Chains A and B, each alone.
Chain A
């Protein structure tokens, strides 16, 4: 060892060797051919480190209690879009949890695959649909797994409109007249998740595996924060959303791997990828929140290579608010669109932050100005001069939207009015069938609860019989 090397501390020495240009940081003998966050790997070491990360997730992540009990038997559904991430996930899951793995080490029972057909969103719908479906079927068949395909508009299917296409288009139109392209994108994401969960439920699967990479997790973290979904963020981007949905555990085993790593893995393993997920929007200026966030994270990651993994790791450190956790004896209020917990008081918060109405003198005369709203300046304010008509009013805030929406879905449904001439121009929103059904159910439950409250005093408790 030379004198200079001898003076280096262990850390510095490691760093120096790590940065030795062109040599794999792991075996330190082979030539590096893949770079992850400035660290170079040879092909075998790259595959080893990547599979190691995913395998750890798949085999060591604690299973929720009720699933743990049926270890090796619980049914798993893998969401396969045909893109690079889900393609890698399919390969890894088949290799590390499939039927060839010995009985004791197996955590899962039957693994099946679901694909949500989004071809209705494509310009050349028929061409893209048939090719993609064919390729996806081939890939899934090669692993000997069962594939289910569910079309996006099916969330709107009725007896009059069996494939739901008319309902879907109407819903998109109602969103674009109230919101924007970003709102539509958000709605599509929510519908997709609903359909995936629905298929899981139909097949008796308790775990839904998704191919969210660290890059996508970072994009979604920022996107959901931007859309006001901080309350449910741990459910949306956490390693597992154990308690997020009432029926299925969403598991994201690829959340430690960057999108770049997926591409590299696919190239090394020579995997067939049915769908090129590169958005057309990338070529021009992004016009939606998702496009903007994606372009921001990807761009920043080039200059600061730790960005995506830092954001993804930060998201994993977030905790779900205790009141958002459902227990067996207490049901929580859930959003009819995304089915995640609704944060109490968020509409009041919004109305306080952005006052959209002002009671005029005419309004006061009409009302007889006897009402003393607690927060308002009129007849109830702290030291105001009384009924001068200067008080906030929440008229026109979002009265057309039901309270059964979470903050994020509410924003998406009514967003971007700021860019329009007149904020009060509301077009009635059309909902997916499941959301309308949930809304009707909530209304019915509220009625029953109201009736029960009226007769509460006359009902006998079970203990009184004994």
Chain B
């Protein structure tokens, strides 16, 4: 059987099939097309402006490692003129985050980017291990604490780094999964903005966040990391539970197995979904205690923190 030829360059021998399109491509074309798609996403959405200081949210996992690599590559190739840095959050999960942070530190050397690590202990006086000890591991509450605190921690880290823009490694699978989750939970407030590529600067402490991998399939990110031999950490969080989100994730994977374009089709749908004007939506307020954006007098982080400090949430 003759070697199969790359569907993109029509010259080299194809070595893989793209999960997103099903095309058989050579290694060089795979790198090119993935980088080009991310570049097209950045350019068509006008994500950056020259001279902007941008922090890459780095966990040491595959998505953020590939993001760091690609941001550096594209910044140099297309002269975005960005001042890049790495920003990590140390949640204080022994056996997981301590190891992944070692990867981030190696990435800092490899990509020659400044790194800032902010820790939950330092910001909130509680590490995740301590929180879990206090509240237990029932239901999904561990992830609630971690998610709420991480969002604020990234913003606070960005202020420390003096950047107004954070890029995160959320990929197409994450975005599609969020669309499905919000439909399943009936969360119309989030549904309307679940496919936004950037969050606008709102409130006093808000830092702009963008997802350059919004249209990039998770499998292709893994393939990119694998073929580029990138140094990343691939262990699941020790507190990762079988949450409700897991159902949406499994469903999405099943859909993808039947129709590979389902992920991108869900994002296309999500972008077109708009909520009726007469539907009651939460209004954006500012937390009385910390000044962070909130939907009530106190932000979620302050409510959780208050409960922790009073020893209430069991």
Q: Give residues in A with beta carbon < 8 Å to B.
A: 180, 182, 221-222, 224-231, 233, 287-289, 292-293, 296, 300, 304, 307, 310-311, 313-315, 317-319, 321, 343, 346, 349-350, 352-358, 360, 362, 375, 377, 381-384, 390, 392, 407-408, 411, 415-424
Task: Tell me the bound Cα distance from A350 to B279 in angstroms.
Answer: 31
Residues on B with beta carbons closer than 8 Å to the beta carbon of A221: 183
Q: Does B230 contact A (CB under 8 A)?
A: no
Indicate if the CB atoms of B251 and A292 lie closer than 8 Å.
yes
The smallest C-beta distance from A194 to any residue of chain B, in angstroms, reads 22
Task: Tell me the bound Cα distance from A353 to B41 in angstroms.
Answer: 7
Q: Is the interface of B mostly helix, strand, loop or mixed?
A: helix
The smallest C-beta distance from A300 to any residue of chain B, in angstroms, reads 6
Complex A-B, nearest 6 residue pairs according to Cβ-Cβ distance, in ascending order: A230-B269, A418-B22, A418-B260, A228-B265, A383-B79, A230-B272
Q: Does B185 contact A (CB under 8 A)?
A: yes
| Extra contacts besides A226-B265, A353-B215, A423-B21 (17): CB < 8 Å | A227-B265, A229-B269, A230-B273, A233-B269, A292-B258, A319-B275, A321-B274, A350-B264, A354-B37, A354-B264, A355-B40, A356-B23, A360-B9, A382-B78, A416-B260, A418-B259, A422-B24
Q: Does B223 contact A (CB under 8 A)?
A: no
Task: Tell me the bound Cα distance from A384 to B261 in angstroms.
Answer: 30
Indicate if the CB atoms of A289 and B186 lie closer than 8 Å.
no
Given known pairs A311-B184, A313-B186, A356-B21, the reply for A225 and B43 (CB within 8 Å) is: no
Can you list 25 A-B contacts with CB-CB less than 8 angstroms, sorted by A residue number? A225-B179, A225-B270, A228-B265, A233-B269, A289-B259, A292-B251, A310-B186, A313-B186, A314-B188, A315-B183, A317-B276, A317-B279, A318-B273, A319-B274, A321-B272, A355-B33, A355-B37, A358-B33, A375-B43, A382-B78, A382-B79, A383-B79, A420-B22, A423-B7, A423-B21
Indicate if the CB atoms of B22 and A423 lie closer than 8 Å.
yes
Indicate if the CB atoms of A357 and B8 lie closer than 8 Å.
yes
Q: Does B268 contact A (CB under 8 A)?
A: yes
Task: Tell me the bound Cα distance from A373 to B183 in angstroms.
Answer: 38
B side interface size, CB within 8 A: 59
Indicate if the CB atoms of A307 and B260 lie closer than 8 Å.
no
Task: Tell me the bound Cα distance from A382 to B77 in angstroms.
Answer: 9
User: Who on chain A is nearest to B274 by CB?
Assistant: A319
Indicate if the CB atoms of B183 and A343 lie closer than 8 Å.
no
Indicate if the CB atoms of A381 and B78 lie closer than 8 Å.
yes
The smallest C-beta distance from B297 to any residue of chain A, in angstroms, reads 23
Indicate if the CB atoms of B32 and A358 lie closer than 8 Å.
yes
Indicate if the CB atoms of B7 and A424 lie closer than 8 Å.
yes
Residues on A with beta carbons closer than 8 Å to the beta carbon of B183: 221-222, 225, 311, 314-315
Indicate if the CB atoms of A180 and B274 lie closer than 8 Å.
no
Given known pairs A230-B269, A230-B271, A416-B259, the reply for A314 and B191 (CB within 8 Å) is: yes
Q: Does B20 contact A (CB under 8 A)?
A: yes
Q: Which of B237-284 contact A (CB under 8 A)?
A: 244, 247, 251, 254-255, 258-262, 264-277, 279
Task: Tell me the bound Cα distance from A350 to B277 in angstroms.
Answer: 29
Task: Tell me the bound Cα distance from A359 to B195 in angstroms.
Answer: 31
Task: Tell me the bound Cα distance from A350 to B20 in angstroms.
Answer: 12
Indicate if the CB atoms of A349 and B268 lie closer than 8 Å.
yes
